[in-house]
Structure 1
Amino acid sequence: MSKLHILKGKLQHYAWGGKTFIPNLLGMTPDNETYAEYWLGAHDNAPSVIETSSGERLPLNEFLNSNLSAALGTDVAKTFGRLPFLFKVLDVHDMLSIQVHPTKKEAEKGFKKENELGIPITASHRNYKDDNHKPEIMVALSEFWLLHGFLTRDKLTKILQDVPEFNYLLPVFANEGYLGLYKNVMEQTTDECNALLRPLTKRILPLYQSGTLEKSSPDYWAAKAFDAAEDKTNFDKGIYSIYFFNIVKVNPGEAVFQDAGIPHAYLEGQNMELMANSDNVLRGGLTPKHVDVPELLKHVAFEATIPNVMVGELQTDGMERVYKTPAPDFELSKIVVLDSKNYQSKAKSAQILIVIDGKVEVSEADKISMLSKGESVFLEANCDYGIRALTPSATLYKATTP
């Protein structure tokens, strides 16, 4: 019985998504709807659908519940009790919310507390959707821009000096550090925030609209956020974060890892994202969704972050590039197969593969599956498989547990 299964993901139509990238990837005709994310995994909120060896179609979480050790591998099943990762394709057209993810311990505490308070899982004001942490890695599929952690002290001081509307924050940062600075702006009333950000926006918006701002400048993203906002009378506190955090440009094939506590936000572009199997997000602005400032402040790492843009480690086969992280839940790699070569691997634990470009033949035992761009497979643990390109070259991304 083959351990190779065709897998169909779930689309997420969040408002910030683009309209063409994911439909084009999946061979669909764009219909003017937003396509933000394509989920490959077993998260209960949106499980992918697997085709079993008998031809039956099942949600992946159901399939795993009845085949846990065999499908995931004994060690992974024992350690995690579920598929430990969630694999996604993202198309970021409008910037995402400023956010931070809790540690595993804090997620368990927060989830338990909200359950005891009787807050429904689907409630809009709920902070913890599950009991898991959510470290994540992204690999850019296009030029990609994001916010990632606080600027170093000297760079942040310079920002507060150079932006006239923020000069008043210089003594706050000097005396109270990152926590004092962030707490000051995040606890402002709506009227205080409006009074302070209105002159800034009035100054930078004409520059943005005339196309004179560079994407490396916080002015560009702050003006874009305001320009895209439906409510033009109230200003979003997330604009402060655009000036306080690192603005990072990631080129195709480069990766960034984000652990618990690192405040971040995706700004623009397409990527592959792999994370622990969780939907826990604490938000800090640039969103109409629930923002819980006291809870957010409990989890932010109030320290400088030096962005680490990774290129991955090319393996000895010359085809696979592995992006290593400290997360025990997942490992992401990029595989480029030329038509003159065959990629061979042994899946020690469960794997998900998606073809991003080209066409391939994936073989395991006596089963062969032809995959085109946008198509995916799930491989059970302890199987040997091969990939052969049917086009001059093909690019795949692989999610597994290290």
Structure 2
Amino acid sequence: MTSQTPDTGAHPLLIDGAVRHYAWGSRTALAELTGRPLPTEHPEAEMWFGAHPAAPSVVSGGSRTLLDVISGDPEGQLGADRSGDRLPFLIKLLAADQALSLQAHPTKQQAEEGFARENAEGVPLGASQRNYKDDNHKPELLVALTRFEALAGFRPLDRTRELLGALAVPDLAHTTAVLGSGDDAEDLRALVTTWLTLPAATKRQLVAVTAPECRRLTALVDAGEAPGWMRGPARVAGKLAEQYPGDSGVLISLLLNHVVLEPGQALFLAAGKLHAYLGGTGVEIMANSDNVLRGGLTTKHIDVPELMRVMDFAPVIDPVCPRDADGRFDVPVPDFALREVDNGQVAPVAGPAVVLVGAGGAELSGAEGSDSSGSAPTRLRPGQAVWVPATTGRDLQVTSLGRVFIATAG
């Protein structure tokens, strides 16, 4: 395998991740994982391995991007049976040192309509009030590399009533009086709309009196005087209030499932599911999109009417995504599939695919019996990735020396 060969059509290619600097990122996690000096000058939140126009991966040792390679030969790179001429997925390394904004992503139809509408209105792609950066949906899967904490989907309403009832905040009880119609999704819609549209001074006061109650409830749990499951959401809301005083996202966080993933566990988020990553390092794969509708914990633009149109308020009992015996994650979307190959295991690789090393290392080689079986394997370090086109002309296999991820279309 080489990145120097002029004819790249049939060759696997080493690709470099495109680093994205966001304020919530880490100055150490991704640098440590990839063996670079730390701390970094700016927070590093994500490394993108894919062909999204905003930050396509560059072919190692050259100047061409993966977007260039695929655009130049979509059939050879993506296969004759492809559904389009762009890579349908984007895989990332993600490192969060603090909470991301509360956010939801649109369905495919919503994205197409929103992208066309904002184009027709002449909203620049880089404008702060722009909601739709492309015309694609963004279902996503996050696999934890370290302990990873998140908020994901609305909690079943019976438990939420119990949690809010344990907080002695009269004004909070007044706003939550809408939670009783019998239609849980519509009740949640009404409450979230109320909290998002409160006058700024009222919102700030409500957060200010709720935060100490969350800390009091955390102490009660620690003393064995309140149910243990309440500790996570109460602790998170109290901490978020310190970072985002007066932000309605602090209140909304109390409605969401608090999830703690151990390494290897995964979280799947379908279109419309409100969520926020709180901290940790992981591998994330999604449809090839950068569309985000924000709902709080941010100073960025929040389009309340559009967010309400996109959000799915149906409660989620358990957002954790199972993994089968072969390391494949069960995701109900056609855009991507992900398999984790554990230390010492060997797995075949068929393009189009991205092979990403999350820890330890890997060897990519021709499988036994192929024309290339006599060539030396390509050694990969953590944070390195290989693009495998559809027409490699070789049978490939990856040997995991730690944690390796194979991303393909679904």
TM-score normalised by length of structure 2: 0.87
Residue number in structure 1 paired with 2:259: 248
CA distance in 2, matches of 1:290, 1:335: 39
Residue number in structure 2 paired with 1:9: 17
Matches within 5 A, 1:117-136: 117-136=121-140
CA distance in 2, matches of 1:260, 1:124: 22
Q: Deviations over 1:315-371 (max 9, x none)?
A: 2xxxxx000211100001111242xx6x24141x41111112223321245464221
CA distance in 2, matches of 1:239, 1:281: 19
8 Å Cα contact 1:148-1:247 kept in structure 2: yes
CA distance in 1, matches of 2:217, 2:194: 28
Which of 199, 205, 208 lines up with 1:195 in the alignment? 205
CA distance in 1, matches of 2:299, 2:75: 41
CA distance in 2, matches of 1:290, 1:375: 34
Per the alignment, in what secondary structure is the counterpart of residue 80 of structure 1? coil
Residue number in structure 1 paired with 2:396: 385
8 Å Cα contact 1:147-1:267 kept in structure 2: yes
CA distance in 2, matches of 1:373, 1:261: 33
Matches within 5 A, 1:27-46: 27-32=35-40, 33-46=42-55
Structure 1 residues 344 and 261, CA, compared in 2 at 3 Å: closer, same or farther? Answer: closer
Residue 224 (1) aligns with residue 239 (2): yes
TM-score normalised by length of structure 1: 0.89
Which of 316, 340, 345 lines up with 2:348 in the alignment? 345
Question: Alpha-carbon deviation of 1:41?
Answer: 0.5
Residue number in structure 1 paired with 2:69: 63
8 Å Cα contact 2:167-2:214 kept in structure 1: no
Structure 1 residues 398 and 20, CA, compared in 2 at 3 Å: closer, same or farther? Answer: same
Which of 225, 245, 260 lines up with 2:271 in the alignment? 260
Per the alignment, in what secondary structure is the counterpart of residue 312 of structure 1? coil
8 Å Cα contact 1:346-1:382 kept in structure 2: no
One-letter code aligned to 1:352: V
Residue 160 (1) aligns with residue 169 (2): no
Question: Alpha-carbon deviation of 1:282?
Answer: 0.3
Question: Alpha-carbon deviation of 1:207?
Answer: 8.6
- Give unmatched runs, 5+ long, in structure 1: 316-320
Per the alignment, in what secondary structure is the counterpart of residue 6 of structure 1? strand
Question: Alpha-carbon deviation of 1:57?
Answer: 3.7
Residue number in structure 2 paired with 1:288: 299
Question: Alpha-carbon deviation of 1:201?
Answer: 2.4
One-letter code aligned to 1:117: E
Per the alignment, in what secondary structure is the counterpart of residue 64 of structure 2? strand
Residue number in structure 2 paired with 1:394: 402
Residue 374 (1) aligns with residue 378 (2): no
Q: Is the strand fraction higher in 1 or 2? A: 1
- Would you say how many aligned residue pairs link Structure 1 and Structure 2? 380
Which of 75, 80, 103 lines up with 2:81 in the alignment? 75
Q: Deviations over 1:273-316 (max 9, x none)?
A: 0000000000000011111111101111122111232341122x
CA distance in 1, matches of 2:315, 2:263: 26
Q: Deviations over 1:7-29 (max 9, x none)?
A: 10111111001121100111110
CA distance in 2, matches of 1:131, 1:116: 13
CA distance in 2, matches of 1:266, 1:5: 31
CA distance in 1, matches of 2:128, 2:212: 32
8 Å Cα contact 2:266-2:321 kept in structure 1: yes
Matches within 5 A, 1:327-338: 327-338=333-344
